[in-house]
Chain A
Amino acid sequence: MIVIKNLSFHYKKDMTILDNIHASLLPGHIYGLLGLNGVGKTTFLKLICGLLFPRSGNVDISGFTPEDRQIGFLQDIYFVTDEVDLPYWNIVDYLEIYSPLYPKFDKAYFDEILISLQVDPRENIKALSYGQRKKVNIAFALATNTKLLLMDEPTNGLDIPAKTQFRKALAKHVSEDTTVIISTHQIRDIHQLIDHLLVLQNRNLTLNESIDDLSRKIKFKQGDYPETLYVESSLNGNSNILLNTDGEETPFDIELFFNALINEPQFLKKLSLTNLQAHE
């Protein structure tokens, strides 16, 4: 379990990136971390894995303080960065050297993922394209079987079949004791996997809610509705976000929802009011 309390961070004193963030992230979920460019998504992930240190507040991951970078903590966390900086070795050598560092590493699973992603395990990493190197890193990350998996734009550079394979592999990876946090702008690539949304906006975590809970409050409809919370024109007509007063189940459109959060400043307030009304 990840417990974040009063987390604040800045690179320069007069430029706060994250301000007083609170959150509890539970295992068994895939969290989608959303936010505009430069809002601090990667910084947030780095603070969780201990690459950056909080200026105030703290992060607790199953009793570990990330900045201590203790072995027990590092053995159970893997961070797939946007930029792949794997050394230019043979994949086999890379595996031979680094896999023993992860006690739950599954070599057969690594080969299986790599083959499904259409990368030859005998290749030299130097000879691979950016997308292929990313595939190697993703395969390695999943094969470590760590309890906490952080991914920063994992589908960047992947070809279409690889995105499908990635979704399958990730769905297989999640279990009751694993937590996956994915930061991405390419939400359509993984929207079926995400079951919880984290939205960073104006230095704060403005939303931390499960898709299930959100679906109980709002629904997505095409057409013209007078009482819409948010509307966006598209080729198929108007896409609306409406209050879900009748418990109707509609596919959750993360992209439209995110646009509503960004473009309609009152949207979150309206959503909060929905909470209050529901409680009353």
Chain B
Amino acid sequence: MNRQLNIQRLYIALKEIYFPNRLLIAIFPLIMLLAFGLYYYWPGDIFYQKFFTPELYPKNDDWIRAVYMEQTGSKLLLMWLAPIYLAIMTWGYFDALNKSERVNLLPLSNLERTLAIIIFLLGGLITGTFIFGLYDHLTVWLFKNMYYEQVLQYLEKQGDLYPKISGNSIFKALPINKLTLLSIGFFVICVPLYILAKVFFKRYSIILFSALLVLIVLVVSYFIREFFMYEQAAISIGLKGFIPSTIQLLITMVYCFLTIVAFYYKRKEREI
């Protein structure tokens, strides 16, 4: 039996993270659905107005025009839900790794724990992205069924025979490649930082943890801005002129590798 990595123990390590969160995991699709509902019915939004103050749209054409003008690209922000959810789910687990004598004396190797955490977070991000994409396509399909024909007729009446539907309209789902890239961004930038923060900054380092959290938010916000505002198709960190893309990729990979290795060894050295 391999002393460092054993599939059965890896499975137990995964179960140890999954088990206390099984209810949260089960209701995640519902939470995401709720988030989508909130997004579309946010006070001030056209759907909110249509529901609570229908007098704002006395004619159907006014309403259809509003639907046509509606910009929903910012729904990308809902992608934050998966990482936030994962942070909530793993928070207690990391605390136990830092403090619990029982947990640290369980016959699970550091490698098994490290892998279990990575698999859980990766699985969570993939599932979160998938569910987001699914709801996004479902809502787009729903809006198309409900309003697309009416919008085309309205535009035709306005003399616009070849209308261009904006990428941020309610009739367009966010491109899969963007979602995938953002998900990868979360995984390669935020996950290692989060793991390191939870392991390095023991008990009272709220300031350090907050600083790191701000850094995470800044990094991710930068990527979201790139995707959303400038509709970039790929991640660019503004160094293309100086560092070739291959090197950028290598730097990212080395960064991920080093953080995971640092986590692994820090766990090994930790006194409880």
Query: A158: CB under 8 A from chain B?
Result: no
Query: B101: CB under 8 A from chain A?
Result: yes
Stretch at the interface among A44-52, A179-187, A231-239: A44-52
Cα–Cα, bound, A220→B19 (Å): 55
A100 to chain B, nearest CB (A): 6
Interface size class of B (residues with CB under 8 A): 20 to 34
Cα–Cα, bound, A88→B6 (Å): 26
On whether the beta carbons of B107 and A71 are closer than 8 Å, the reply is yes
Q: Identify the closest chain B residue to A66 (Cβ).
A: B105
Query: A74: CB under 8 A from chain B?
Result: yes
On whether the beta carbons of B271 and A52 are closer than 8 Å, the reply is yes
Give the interface SS of chain B, mostly helix, strand, loop or mixed. helix
Query: A85: CB under 8 A from chain B?
Result: yes
Cα–Cα, bound, A89→B92 (Å): 14
Query: A273: CB under 8 A from chain B?
Result: no
Query: B24: CB under 8 A from chain A?
Result: no
Cα–Cα, bound, A100→B11 (Å): 11
Query: B188: CB under 8 A from chain A?
Result: no
Q: Identify the closest chain B residue to A79 (Cβ).
A: B105
Cα–Cα, bound, A77→B105 (Å): 8
Q: Which residues of A contact B12 (CB under 8 A)?
A: 97-98, 100-101
| Cβ contact of B9, chosen from A72, A77, A79, A101, cutoff 8 A | A101
Q: Quick one: which of B160-196 are within 8 Å of A by CB?
A: none
On whether the beta carbons of A101 and B106 are closer than 8 Å, the reply is yes
A251 to chain B, nearest CB (A): 35
User: Residues 65-83 of chain A: 1 if any B CB is under 8 Å from the residue's CB, otherwise 0?
Assistant: 0000111101101110100
Query: B157: CB under 8 A from chain A?
Result: no
Cα–Cα, bound, A228→B4 (Å): 58
| A97-B15 contact in complex given A52-B272, A71-B3, A81-B101, C-beta closer than 8 Å | yes
Q: Which residues of A contact B33 (CB under 8 A)?
A: none
A173 to chain B, nearest CB (A): 18
A66 to chain B, nearest CB (A): 10
A201 to chain B, nearest CB (A): 24
Q: Which residues of B contact A51 (CB under 8 A)?
A: 101, 104-105, 271-272
On whether the beta carbons of B271 and A75 are closer than 8 Å, the reply is no
User: Residues 105-120 of chain B: 1 if any A CB is under 8 Å from the residue's CB, otherwise 0?
Assistant: 1111110000000000
B93 to chain A, nearest CB (A): 10
Count how many chain A residues have C-beta atoms less than 8 Å from C-beta atoms of the other chain: 27
Q: Identify the closest chain A residue to B5 (Cβ).
A: A71
On whether the beta carbons of B105 and A70 are closer than 8 Å, the reply is no
Query: A209: CB under 8 A from chain B?
Result: no
Q: Quick one: which of B1-47 are within 8 Å of A by CB?
A: 3-4, 6, 8-9, 12, 15-16, 19-20
| A101-B108 contact in complex given A79-B101, A85-B102, C-beta closer than 8 Å | yes
Q: Identify the closest chain B residue to A76 (Cβ).
A: B107
Query: B245: CB under 8 A from chain A?
Result: no
| A87-B101 contact in complex given A71-B109, A101-B9, C-beta closer than 8 Å | no
User: Residues 112-142 of chain A: 1 if any B CB is under 8 Å from the residue's CB, otherwise 0?
Assistant: 0000000000000000000000000000000
Q: Quick one: which of B56-110 are within 8 Å of A by CB?
A: 96, 100-110
Q: Which residues of A contact B8 (CB under 8 A)?
A: 100
Contacts A69-B105, A88-B20, A101-B107 supplied; 4 other A-B pairs, CB < 8 Å: A71-B3, A71-B108, A86-B102, A101-B108
Q: List chain B positions with a Cβ less than 8 A from chain A.
A: 3-4, 6, 8-9, 12, 15-16, 19-20, 96, 100-110, 268, 271-272
Q: List 25 A-B contacts (CB under 8 A).
A: A46-B101, A51-B105, A69-B268, A70-B3, A71-B107, A71-B108, A71-B109, A74-B106, A79-B101, A79-B102, A79-B105, A81-B101, A85-B96, A85-B100, A85-B101, A85-B103, A88-B20, A97-B12, A97-B15, A97-B16, A98-B12, A100-B12, A101-B9, A101-B12, A101-B108
